[in-house]
Every structure is written in C-alpha cells, then in structure tokens.
Amino acid sequence: MVILVLTPERDTDEAVERVKGEKDLLVLYVIEEELPESVGSWLMYAGFLGENPSLEVKRIIVDELERRAHERLEEIKKKLGDVEAVIEKGVLQEIMEKYCREKRPERFVIPKGEKIKTECKIEEV
Amino acid sequence: MLERIKKAILCLGVLLFIFFLTSPIHEISTPANRSLGLFFLTFSLWLTRYLPLSVTGLLVFALIPLLGILPLSESYSLFGNRAIFFILGSFILAGGLMKTGLSRRIAFHIISKFASSGRNLILGVFWTGAVLSFFMPEHAAAAILFPIVIEMAGILKLRPKESLFSRFLFLSLAWGCVIGGIGTLLGGARAPLAIGMLEENFGIRISFLRWSMYAMPVSIGGLLAGTLILTLALRDTPEVSSFKEKAKEELKGMGRLKRDERVVLFVYILTLTGWIFFNRWIDISLIAILSSSLLFLFRGITWKDVERWVNWGIILMYAGAMALGVSLVRSGAAAYISQRYFFSLAKTPFTTLAVFSLLSLVLTEGMSNVATVALLLPVVYGLPFDPVLLTLCITIPGGLALCLPMGTPPNAIAFSSGYYELRFSIKFGVMLTFILYLILLLVGRFYWPLLGVEVW
C-alpha cells in the first residue's frame, strides 16, 4: 500500500501525480490543528477575547480547513479514480506514525516540508 | 528564527532592567533610573509575550513600589483611574452585544445591503467592520464578522489565495475593524487609557464626543482611502447573488428582535446618549458602569455570560500600562529621555506629530496597540508642546496596525483564515498605512487647530 499524505500547507499536484497508477492507494489528508490552536489560544492567552469568542474562532478555522479538505479530496478522486480517502485531525508526525504502525505501507508520499521520521519509508516530492 | 529573536529581545530587556537598577544616569534620580529599567523590561515582555499581557501588567504594579519608584498606595491607586472603569463598563456592554447575537444581526443587515455585486460585498464587509468597531472593541467586531465572512467564502465557493477577491474579502474584514476602531473611545482600550494618562499627568479631561471629533476624520479618511484601494484593485469579481439569498434567509431565520436583544439595544442607545450629551454632568466611566448595571437589572445578560464573553485579564494589562506611564512621567524619566534624545527630532509641534505618529505606526505593527501607546506616551509627555496633541499623535496611529497579523487581533483572525499571504497584506497594508499617515498629518495641520489643539 502507498499512502499519499497531504495537509493544507503541504499539498501539491506533483505529489498527486506521483501516486497516479498505484493500485493499493490511500489518500490521507491531515488537518494540523496547530494554527487554529495557536490563533485561538493567543487571543485568549494574550487576553483579547473571552473564552466563548476565542473557542468560536478556533472552531470556525478547523471547520473551514475540513471543508477545504473534503473539496480537495473530491478533486483528487476525479484525477485518481475512486481511491480510499481519509481526513484526520491532529499532529502530522503522530498521525503518520499511527498509520505506519497500523497499515504498514510500502511508502508514504508527501510534498516537501518539515522533516518527518517514521519507521516506514517516506518519499518527499 | 522568530523564537531566537524573541529570546534576544527578552535578554536585552532583562539586562537593561538590571543595568538601570545601578542608577547609571546621574542627571536623574534613582526612581527615574529604575522606572527606565522597568520600562525596558515591560517593553521586552509585551513585545515577546513570554508572559500573558495581563500578567506583565500585574508585574508592573508589584515592581513600581518594590523598586521605590512610587509609594505602594499611589501605585495601587492608579488601578482606580476612571479610564479603567470606562473600559470595564464598555466591555460588559460589548459582551451583551455579542452574547445576544445583536451584533451578528446588525452585521448581516449591513452586509446584505451591499450584496449587489462582488466589489460591493467586499466594501460591505469593510464598512460593517468599521461601523461595529465604532461601538465595540475592534477584536470583538472581528470575531463576530469572521464566521460570516467564512460562510460567505463557502457559499461563493472561493478558494484560499486563488484570486484578489478571495484575498481582499478577508483583508477588508481586518482593515475595516482596525480603521473603524480608532474613531471612538469604544474601538479599543488604547484611547480611554490615553485620556486617562492625560488626566493623571496634566489634569486635562477629554469627553467621549471630543475624542470622536479629533479621531473620526482620520477614521473616515482612512475608510474612504480603503474604499478607493479596494474599488481600484477589484476589477473582476464573482457573482454574489447566492450570498444575498443566504443573507435574506439568515435574517428571516433570526426573526424579530428578541427580548434580550431589545434590552441591549435600548441600554446601548441610552449609554451613547449619555456619553455624548450628558458627560458634562456625569463622568463617562460612571455612565458605562451604570449602563452595564442596567443590562443586569433588565436581565439582558447574566454574570456567567459576561465571564464567558469578556476576558477580564486584559484589564490588568491596561492598568499596568497606566501605572508604568505615570511612574515614568512622575519620576522625571520621561522628560529626561524626550528632551535628551527626541527634542532634536521634534523641534515644533508639527514635526513632533510627523515623527512620533510615524514611530507609533511602525511600533504598533509588532506589538499590542495598548503597549505601543503606553510606551510612547510617557516619552512624548516630556516634550514642551500641547499635551492633547501629544496624546493624539501617539494614540490614533497606535491603533492602525494594517500589515502584520501580530499587530492586532483583527489582523490575526483574518490572517488565520489562510485566504491571503503575508506579503499580500504587507503590500496593500503599507500602501494604506502611508495614505493614513498623510491623512493624519493633514487632519493635524488643518483640522485639529480648529478644535483648539496647538499644532504650530
């Protein structure tokens, strides 16, 4: 199995092209909660907004990222055929480790960015 | 990289703090030396945000008496300044606007009126942000508008960083809130804090209406300049009728004004009337507190609501900023610094306006508006010019952070959408900031003298 990993920040057509033709393919879209977390907590930690509006801002950002992820996966399905696609929220490193343990993929394909280390092979595109 | 710079700034702040404890400047007193040390420490903490802004504010209160800058009772008494109580009351009122959903209803009403074309829709977001920020803190206005604009982007099937339209939709949200926020005393705490410091140091009182008369022309000028930039930049815009339909549905779904919304609206109108027409007889801070009490009396809001919607910690920062500023002025440190280092730059009132408003505009991009005002005001208060002019030339530009997300919460909220790049907001933000700077100089040169401010 090959797992194509995408995030809002690491998402290129080149990576999608690279996995074209793979028979056993999973597209894993990771919504990293770091940004909404940091915006929401900054607004509250610095003291600008109360709990409710801060959490609301954070929730809206996460929802928006999820909406965009769904749209992107639809687009990818049109390109690659009816592949299995999953959306996960959390820390990219931890999620890839989890998928490495559970799915034992032949390799991950991911657009270039911050280095990720797992026991499984990672191909950066 | 950013973390390293932050650490370096903090280290420098701590070192300068320790250095000034040894009273290195012989021309000024020991308390004045120490207040300068405290100034650098606070500056570094506010800039790097290693501590919450409010905790730094609290630390200022502890260090002022501990370092012998002011007696304990005098230091604590600054917490009771009327500006702090005005901010407190206006925050409760803003909490009522948010909690009841009245502000969302108003936002939808205004935006739907503009939804005739793509360009007008963006102008609608821009002006709605501004109008809301005339009456409530700009960060609260941005938090209210943000979900509406995100929804708008979804309905119009916009993609992040895809077109000028999608970028400007979010940037206009931030711009509107920021520029509107300088128009009255309600847009942000920096203006009430500044008039509080003016009163503490010079015994000069400025009313709600008077402040609006000084600041509103700059705000309106900035809004017109923003409108011009948006109009010229947006040539091809998408069809927006789908959002107009959605707005209509939304407003229909909201139904008639609910009881708690009516209560908040009534109290708000009453408060504004009081601030504008009766401030000669009743202080604006008293009106703010009485009005917020009315909200509870009429069951428009509960204390639990206020706790959830308002962040009280920030009041500590405002009070700390006030105490720091007053201690710098009273110890003589501010006068020494401004005469020694800045008088050559600011020989006339107008050059003071030109130099310090520019400095304030630059500083506010990197740090909180209130911190900018709290740090620069004491310095200019040492210059021998009209204190009202000095207050205006720092406070108004101190609210105009239009480029960077860390400058002010509306920018951070809009930027977090991911719909525009940093270089985009810098490119257009610098352009608008420059125009606003020119507007401020023109208003200062030709209009403020009509209100009795000595600019020449």
The count of domains in chain B is 1
CB A95 within 8 A of CB A85: no
Q: What is the pLDDT of residue B270?
A: 92
Span A36-67, pLDDT tens digits: 666 666 666 566 677 778 888 888 888 888 88
Rounded CA gap, B18 and B50, in Å?
18
- What mean pLDDT do residues B408-425 have? 88
* Mutation for A interface: B54, B104, B416, most A CBs within 10 A: B416
The number of residues making up chain A comes to 125
| Residue B331 maps to a domain | yes
ipTM topping 0.85: no
Residue among B201, B35, B422, B148 nearest A60 (CA): B148
| Residue B223 maps to a domain | yes
| Residue B456 maps to a domain | no
Residue among B380, B293, B398, B386 nearest B339 (CA): B380
Rounded CA gap, B294 and B291, in Å?
5
Span B21-38, pLDDT tens digits: 988 888 889 999 999 999
Residue B437 or B100, more confident: B437
Rounded CA gap, B140 and B162, in Å?
28
Residue among B315, B94, B98 nearest B186 (CA): B94
Alpha helices for B156-283 (secondary structure H):
164-181, 190-202, 208-233, 241-254, 259-277
- The total of other beta-carbon atoms located within 10 Å of residue A120's CB is 17
Q: Which two tokens stand for residue B76?
A: 């604590």
- Can you give the residue range of the structural domain that contains B281? 2-451
Q: Is B23 left (phi over 0), alpha (psi -120 to 50) or beta?
A: left
Domain ranges of chain A: 2-124
Lowest mean pLDDT among B5-14, B315-324, B438-447: B315-324
- Dihedral sign for Cα B418, B420, B423, B428, please: negative
Residue among B425, B424, B423, B420 nearest B403 (CA): B425
Span B270-305, pLDDT tens digits: 999 998 888 778 888 899 999 999 999 998 888 888
Q: What is the pLDDT of residue A42?
A: 65
- What's at B177, amino acid-wise? C
Rounded CA gap, B335 and B382, in Å?
4
- Dihedral sign for Cα B132, B136, B141, B144, please: negative
| Residue B341 maps to a domain | yes
| Residue B136 maps to a domain | yes
CB under 8 Å to B453, separation ≥6 — which residues?
B214, B386, B388, B389, B392, B444
For residue B398, pLDDT beyond 90: yes
**Contact state of A43 with B409 under an 8 Å Cβ cutoff:** yes
Q: What is the pLDDT of residue B263?
A: 92
Task: Indicate the fold that domain A2-124 takes in CATH.
Answer: Rossmann fold (3.40.50)
**Average pLDDT per block of 10 residues along chain A, 125 residues long:** 90 89 90 71 66 81 86 89 89 92 92 87 90
Q: Nearest CB to B412: which of A8, A42, A64?
A: A42
* Mutation for A interface: B98, B177, B311, most A CBs within 10 A: B311
- Closest residue, chain A, to B146 (C-alpha): A57
Q: What is the pLDDT of residue B246?
A: 82
Residue among B329, B364, B297 nearest B138 (CA): B364
Span B65-103, pLDDT tens digits: 999 999 998 888 888 888 888 888 888 888 888 888 898
Q: What is the pLDDT of residue B393?
A: 95
Percentage of chain B modeled with pLDDT above 90: 46
Q: What is the least distance, in Å, from the CA of A24 to any CA of chain B?
A: 30
Q: What is the least distance, in Å, from the CA of B455 to any CA of chain A?
A: 34
- Closest residue, chain B, to A51 (C-alpha): B308
Looking at the DSSP bridge assignments, the partners of residue A32 are A90
Q: Give the HSE-up count for residue A20: Cα atoms under 13 Å, Cβ half-sphere.
A: 10
Looking at the DSSP bridge assignments, the partners of residue A89 are A31
**Contact state of A46 with B160 under an 8 Å Cβ cutoff:** no
**Interface size, chain A vs chain B, as Cβ–Cβ contacts under 8 Å:** 79
Rounded CA gap, B244 and B112, in Å?
6
